[in-house]
Structure 1
Amino acid sequence: MDTKVFDTLEYNKIKNKIYEYLTTKNGKNELSSLVPTNNDKSINLWLDETDDGMHVLRLDKEISIPKLDDITPYMKRLKIDATLNGSELSKINKVLKSANALVSFFDKMYEDHVSFKRLYDIVDEFQTIPTISKQLSFSIDDEGNILSSASKELNGIRKRIDKVKTDIRNIMNGYTKKQAKYLTEPIVTIREDRMVIPVKSEYKNKFGGIVHDRSSSGQTLYVEPSSVIGLNNELRQNQIAERQEERRILIELSDLIRPYQWEIINNSKILGHLDLINAKAKYARKMKATKPLVSTDNRVNLKQARHPLIDQDKVVANDLKIGEDNRAIVITGPNTGGKTITIKTLGILQLMGQSGLFVTANEESTIGVFDNVFADIGDEQSIEQNLSTFSSHMDNIVDILNNLTSKSLVLLDELGAGTDPKEGAALAISILDKIGEVNSEVVATTHYPELKVYAYNRVKTTNASMEFDVDTLQPTYHLLMGIPGQSNGLNIAERLGLSDQIINEARSLTDQDSQDLNNMIVELTDQTKQARENAEYLRTQLADATKLHAELSDKFSKYQNQKERLVTEAKEKANEIAKKAKNKADHIIAELHKKQDQIGKVSVKENELINAKGELNSLRQDISLSNNKVLKKEKAKHDFHKGDDVLVKSYGQRGVLMSKMGNHSWEVQLGILKMKIDDTDLEKVKPEKENNFTTRVKRSGSSGLSTTLDLRGHRYENAMHEVDQYLDSAVLAGYPSITIIHGKGTGALRKGVTNLLKRDRRVSDFGYSAPNAGGDGSTVVKLR
């Protein structure tokens, strides 16, 4: 693709915006080499990757990658059998650990049934080497320092070094405290890697030993006392041994990773690619950009397109449509009306889409697949070449005409400007005809009225203009498709106060056809403006109606589900009642037959028949809904009032109703949280009784013990006792985890709870709650 257009349309400014979100060197390198492609498969693949990145962000997660350097130079050194230093090994290990972390992250996503188009395939390319990463982590810290755990020998050497240093320091401290009068300062310092003390020159023989240095004045000698010479020698020997062992460890680690050079480099590249996907997604989220559809027929339809480099709260959006039967657009109208920014918006969004970036336009927008986007925009007068503005434009246009194809998009600003108007108009028409012969798609802006007629008469060519408000004398920046630009010069002059005599005379000199055309354009503009306003109003109404329909459908679905459940429960209860009634009736009838058999043909006594009939009648169930106990009980469960205890069914947690929010929602206090809950998700329950061991622990309906202990407002000693008792009860109840609410406050309760949990054998693990569940104001405890 022609690279000049990148500067003209400010494509690199878009890349600079994305650059801010990158953390890896490989990601930055990949962004630097990113250019639009004309391969539709690559475009769709890149857009799917960006869409996957957006999906991760929609889940309130992130493809987290730390700052990573390019490790390729280190791998090249390994290839020639060089030994890497600690810093280089640390950076390589950072790549390995990042790859392992992302594999685990996406494994969890897969377990949660999160769907991606591309990310799982990309992550599957990682070559995890956990044993090597573990060895590196055991040997090198994040700053590249060699750890004592790297080898037993190194650990032993460093312990000896620490002991000798301590012995030397103790002796030297004795000098600084007891014989300070002989010293310039009572301190221990270092000279030539040896510990020395600053001795006054007149007492140089007082300590014996070796003089390693003297002050510039000659008044101070830096003396290593004879009593520590042996220890300093021992320290020196151990330090040499330490360096030798460190060197051996670095050689061993370098040899360890040498066979895996390709795998490590590949991991680094994958991390860079994922970093770029994450950056593109973050930029798209910030710009409220959307994924475009891709048309191989180059049918561009950008809905409410916005220029990405203009403040999105201020930019005017326009529908931009070109292609199929509308392959050329001629935009006419005055300066500063927005013509240039309109064609720039079309060009930059097309470049972004062909680079796999989301576009700042509404959903379901469509981009084309152009082999080249050509643009001649702005004043490119060249002082060095001594070319006029007209010559500069013609130079660009000649280059464009020599290289365009039927798959090209051409953007021409102020076509034919800079020369005689009649010649310029004729030249512009000829250029558009030439582009039309090639069948390229073209958008051109111009002042020439002749091009209005040209656009009207040519096949697959349409007029367009930028709307202008004559009342305010300001452009609205709205694009009007199908309507040529009107001449507002006389109207503006009249509004600015030019005398009626001058205005009328000017109008009399204007060609009648021009006046009629202008009047027609004014009428079309007014009609189009009214149509656009009506369309915007209807779009808003449609959005509201769609939202309302979705809400009603959701509520109807919930109603149907609840209705089916209640009917099923009622049928089950009815069947149970019917079964009991049948059994009792069979028993009564059996008793009657038994008595009849006993007395033979003698009739059963009247009172026995009456009693039996009464028993049968008692089996009859009242079907009146007003007396239906099941419905009464169900209705009572949903008769909500402020302060009621309720069960939030979706969370399985008890709460208290705080206030009504809308027709079908309540604010519910759940522990330390307040949440808006739909009333269909609530069920009234009886208040819980207070527990014996603390008034702040609520009981549940199953085991009798709540999974939450609230310590807020308790004294420290009582709170610690309550925690201990509560852990006993929770373990006995068989709970896998519990939550202890201690609040933030001064932090005393939090610290006390943490210390108690650290040493409690009943606890397997613990940590603060999630930020949206109280953060460090509560602790989640996992029990053994």
Structure 2
Amino acid sequence: MNERILRVMEFDKIIDQLKDHAATSLGKRLAVQTKPSVVMEEVIQRQKETDEASQIVRLNAELPLGGISDIRASIKRSVIGGSLGTDECLDVANTIYGGRQVKDFVGKLEETYPILEELVEQITPLRELEQLIKSCIDDHGYVMDSASQKLRSIRSSIRTYESRVRDRLENYTRTNSNMLSDAIITIRNDRYVLPVKQEYRGAIGGIVHDQSSSGQTLFMEPKAIVDFNNQLQEASVKEKQEIERILQEITEQIALEEAPLLINIEVLSDIDVMFARAKLGKQMKASMPKMNDNGIIKMQQARHPLIPKEEVVPNDVEIGESYTSIVITGPNTGGKTVTLKMIGLCTLMAQSGLQIPALDGCELAVFQHVFADIGDEQSIEQNLSTFSSHMTNIVDILKKVDDKTLVLFDELGAGTDPQEGAALAMSILDDVISRGARVIATTHYPELKAYGYNRENVVNASVEFNVQTLRPTYRLLIGVPGRSNAFEISKRLGLDNHVIDQAKGLIGVDTKSVENMIASLEDSQLSAEKEYEEAHRTLIASEELHQNIRNAWNQYEQKREALYKKAEEKAERALAKAREEAELIVDEIRKMKTETKLKEHEWIEAKKMLEEAQPKLRQKQNDQQPSAPAQSKKEIKAGDEVKLLKLNQKGTIVEKVSDKEFLVQVGIMKVKMKRDDLQPLGKQKQTYEKPLTTIRGSNYHVSTELDLRGERFEDALLKLEKYIDDSLLAGYGKVSIIHGKGTGALRNGVKEFVKKHPRIAGQRSGEAGEGGSGVTVIELR
């Protein structure tokens, strides 16, 4: 695609919007480079990528791209032997972390997204490099003491020297405060000094490093602390050298991971742009077009992407099957040029992998070339007229047109004699159409209104004009050429009827016939559209009625099933009661067995006959639910309640032995049962995880730690109050409350609660091995 067509179609404005939706500097830089592709497979792949991202965006799932930055320059410097600064190293660590977050995010998605999954598969986590950087540099870019044992030792000595210097200087401020302009210790040239009054310079003695603007105060380093300051300076130099060594070591490790880091950056850039295209599509309420290489364009309710949704008028556009060319006629400001630009811009967007603002089911073609002659581009420097400027552009277009080309002509043949211009326009159209190109042209010439009726593969179209309001509606009417409406407009504006009648008599018979034909076509189309809308409303009403009937039937079925179930439950209760009474009677008779001649097996047989006398209740039938056999095959897992069909008992699944055998808890016994002998009851007993650390006391099992992280403030305090009571009942002397650091609100709330509780003897923050300030240790009494 040449740059001129991108400029004429205002494609750069679409790219600006795309860039705004990118989340990272990497994505923004790649978005700006977006260009239409002329390779069918590449366009289809881009559209599939955008569609996958759109599915995730519709779920309001936010891709975690925070912290990712363009670290390619830092990687390059590390490879050529340079040393990276702390901020650059942090950017590398944060980018590695961001890549891992994206990988985890995609892995947790419930649906399958093949393209996205294939992309994140290329991301290398590089945990060791990230941990190395994070263990040496904090979030503010400060190299921590833990970076090396030597650095820890150097900083320890620095703190010792600083302490000695301050002690000496503070002694000066206490004993010689009258000689000082202010009793403070300050720093000049990286050395600790005192603000000494000018007249006491000799009394203090030492080195002058600076003076105030008035000259009345000298910043002096007393002789007694010169050696200490020197030692401090030497330690500071060693500290700087050690930091440089640590950063150089980190830089070398980054250089070793050059290849995976660059791949990570490339993949994250592609993913960012994928989601930027999806977000832009959501903003435009766009849809994914079906792409073809046959020059077919079909769009319903297509909108110009750069016109606000509340102002734009949607239009249906179709070209490439029944006809390959459209000639649009109509008045100025009627929307002809907007229609041309909309078709061209949507084509360029689709070939760039962007979705288009039209209804679902739209179809667009992949063109090798898109040409446009739109607007007045005459050059004053070249002294070209409007007509000459257009013809120069058209000549250049005609040199390159083939059957894989979309050509857009605006006011073809304008700027010269009407008859010659119309003849030239028809000749140009004939030439372009003969080469198999797809052509859409706008014109004012009345001669071209009949053009579509005399040529194959050409159809007329117009932009609708409302004579009553004297305003264009901006609706595109395919198959109907535009008419001038001059007489109707003049009449509504107040021109006398005799003048209008005389004008009508001056126009030719052919012109009258054409105008009458156009008017008839417009009336027929409007009538057909009204009938279509009426049929559509009837269809919608029928579908609503059908849905209401279906809902009513489902409600009836549910009510019937509920009544059946209620009757069955009542019958089961009656049978259970009768069985219990029969058991009592049997037991009483067995006690009198010595007085009778009946044998034991006769009692067993009688009991069996009693059980078999129980009627079989109907199984629930519901079109919306699986039948009983299907339910019995429902997946069961540990904790599920089941019915043991052979024993007629209820139990709980303890564990899965195999696919066909389970261990079941029945009362105090555990038995192995086959899967076919178990029926899920749709319930699951609540289970609790065993605490990591428990202490037995007063018949309680309570953890010595309570984790409140992630709890709402009020809920956390309620849990804390109950936990303290349980811990007291368990007889604990000390417990730990884990509240995390965060904003400090939960930590402060816990400490306030602890202060007011009468059974708490004391509290303290956790030590390094206990969780630090994220934990409060409580002593109970």
TM-score band, normalised by shorter chain: 0.7 to 0.9
Q: Tell me the residue number matched to 1:45.
A: 45
Mapped to 2, the partners of 1:312 and 1:354 lie a distance apart of 23
Structure 1 residues 86, 386: CA separation in 2 closer, same or farther (over 3 Å shift)? same
**Residues 716, 749 of structure 1: 8 Å contact kept:** no
Confirm or deny: 8 A CA contact 1:99 1:271 kept in the other structure. yes
Q: Is the 8 A contact 1:48 1:117 kept in 2?
A: no
Retained in 1: the 8 A contact 2:464–2:475? yes
Give me the whole-angstrom Cα distance separating, in 1, the residues matched to 2:211 and 2:287. Answer: 73
Whether 2:234 is the aligned partner of 1:234: answer: no
Query: Shift of residue 502 of structure 1?
Result: 1.9
> What is the Cα deviation at residue 371 of structure 1?
0.9
Change (3 A) 1:159 1:586: closer
Distance in 2 (alpha carbons) for counterparts of 1:714 and 1:258: 50
CA–CA separation in structure 2 for the residues paired with 1:589 and 1:391:
116
Distance of aligned partners of 1:517 and 1:226 in 2 relative to their CA distance in 1, 3 Å threshold: same
Report if aligned partners of 2:75, 2:254 keep a CA contact under 8 Å in 1.
Answer: no
Contact 1:467 1:525 in 2 (8 A): no
Deviation at 1:728, TM superposition (A): 9.2
**Residues 150, 759 of structure 1: alpha-carbon distance in 2 compared, 3 angstrom cutoff:** closer
1:121 deviates by 0.7
Equivalent residue for 1:510?
507
Query: Where does 1:15-414 land on structure 2 (aligned, <5 Å)?
Result: 15-66=15-66, 68-109=68-109, 113-176=110-173, 178-414=175-411
Q: Per-residue deviation at 1:82?
A: 2.4
Amino acid in the other structure paired with 1:452: K
Task: Kindly state the Cα deviation for residue 378 of structure 1 after the two structures are TM-superposed.
Answer: 0.7
| Cα offset, 1:297, TM superposition | 1.8
What displacement does 1:411 show? 0.7
1:455 and 2:452 equivalent?
yes
AA matched with 2:429:
L
Measure the CA separation in 1 of the matches of 2:88 and 2:334: 57
Tell me, in whole angstroms, the C-alpha distance in 2 between the residues paired with 1:407 and 1:170.
86
Closer, same or farther in 2 for the Cα pair 1:599/1:748, shift >3 Å?
Answer: closer
Give the counterpart letter for 1:325 in structure 2.
Answer: S
Cα 1:582–1:197, aligned 2, differ >3 Å: closer, same or farther? closer
Alignment of 1:543-558 (within 5 A): none
| Cα displacement (A) at 1:620 | 11
After superposition, give the CA deviation of every residue in 1:566-612 in whole Å (9 maximum; x if it has no partner): 867866876786698799899999999x99x9899xxxxxxxxxxxx
Contact kept in structure 1, 2:20 and 2:28, CA below 8 Å: no
Using the alignment, how far apart are the partners of 1:383 and 1:292 within structure 2?
41
Contact 2:295 2:365 in 1 (8 A): yes
Q: What is the letter of the counterpart of residue 355 of structure 1?
A: S
State the distance in 2 between where 1:8 and 1:584 align: 94
Q: Which residue of 1 aligns with 2:487?
A: 490
| Residue number among 484, 497, 501 corresponding to 1:500 in the alignment | 497
Cα distance in 1 between the residues matched to 2:754 and 2:509: 91
Amino acid at match of 1:477: Y
* In 1: Cα distance, 2:578 partner to 2:377 partner: 98
CA apart distance, 1:341: 0.2
1:8 matches 2:8: yes
Residue 197 (structure 1) shift: 1.7
Counterparts in 2 of 1:235 and 1:261: CA distance versus 1, 3 Å: same
- 1:136 shift after superposition: 1.0
1:156 to partner: Cα distance:
2.8
Tell me, yes or no, if the aligned pair for 1:199 and 1:222 is still in contact at 8 Å. yes
Alpha-carbon distance in structure 2 between the residues aligned to 1:481 and 1:728: 85
**Structure 2 residue corresponding to 1:479, chosen from 465, 476, 480:** 476
Deviation at 1:74, TM superposition (A): 2.0
- Between the aligned partners of 2:328 and 2:168, the Cα distance in structure 1 is 91
Aligned-pair CA distance for 1:141: 3.2
SS in 1 for 2:395: helix
Q: State how far apart, in whole Å, the 2-side matches of 1:473 and 1:219 are.
A: 86
Is 1:465 matched up with 2:462?
yes
Cα shift at 1:20: 1.0
Question: Where does 1:549-588 land on structure 2 (aligned, <5 Å)?
Answer: none
8 Å CA contact retained: 1:23, 1:67: no
User: Kindly tell me: are residues 501 and 152 of structure 1, through their superposed partners in 2, closer, same or farther at Cα, counting changes over 3 Å?
Assistant: same
* Aligned equivalent of 2:652: none
Distance in 2 (alpha carbons) for counterparts of 1:131 and 1:712: 35
- Letter of the structure 2 residue corresponding to residue 423 of structure 1: E
Paired AA for residue 298 in structure 2:
N
SS in 1 for 2:210: strand
Cα offset, 1:470, TM superposition: 0.2
The residue identity in structure 2 corresponding to 1:285 is K
SS at match of 1:403: coil
The sequence identity of aligned pairs, in percent, is 38
Change (3 A) 1:10 1:201: same
CA positional deviation for 1:437: 1.0
Quick one: distance in 1 between partners of 2:597 and 2:105?
A: 85
Q: Which residue of 2 aligns with 1:531?
A: 528
Deviations 1:91-121 (A, max 9, x none): 2222211111111112222xxx322141111
Cα deviation 1:197-253 (Å, max 9, x = unaligned):
221221102222211233454433220012322221221111111111101101111
For the residue of structure 1 that corresponds to 2:291, the secondary structure is: strand
Distance 2:102 2:302 in 1: 35
1:437 to 434, 437, 446: 434
* Paired letter, 1:179: N
Give the Å deviation of 1:69.
3.6
Q: Deviations over 1:157-179 (max 9, x none)?
A: 22332343344334434444553
> Offset of 1:746 from its aligned partner?
13
Code of the aligned partner of 1:97: Y
Gaps of 5+ in 1: 601-615, 624-707, 731-738, 740-744, 766-784
Find the counterpart in structure 1 of residue 656 from structure 2: none
Q: Secondary structure at the match of 2:15?
A: helix
**Shift of residue 561 of structure 1?**
7.5
User: Alignment partner of 2:355: what SS?
Assistant: coil
Instruction: Assess if the C-alpha contact under 8 Å between 1:63 and 1:274 holds in 2.
Output: no
Corresponding residue for residue 522 of structure 1: 519
Please give the alpha-carbon distance, in whole angstroms, between the structure 2 residues aligned to 1:405 and 1:13.
28
Q: Residues 519-546 of structure 1: CA distance to partner in whole angstroms, max 9, x if unpaired?
A: 3322322332343345445546656765
Preserved contact between residue 68 and residue 98 of structure 2 (Cα < 8 Å): no
The offset of 1:456, in angstroms, is 1.4
Would you say the 8 A contact 1:21–1:279 is kept in 2? yes
How far off is 1:350 after superposition? Answer: 0.9
**Post-superposition offset of 1:85:** 2.1
Residue-by-residue CA offset, 1:615-634 (whole Å, 9 max, x unaligned): x9xx999x9xxxxxxxxxxx
Runs of 5+ in structure 2 lacking a partner?
A: 599-609, 618-707, 731-738, 740-744, 758-762, 772-781
Q: Secondary structure at the match of 1:205?
A: helix
| Separation in 2, partners of 1:187, 1:586 | 99
1:683-715 Cα shifts (integer Å, max 9, x gaps):
xxxxxxxxxxxxxxxxxxxxxxxxx9xx99999
Q: Distance in 2 between matches of 1:198 and 1:151?
A: 37
The SS at the match of 1:383 is: coil
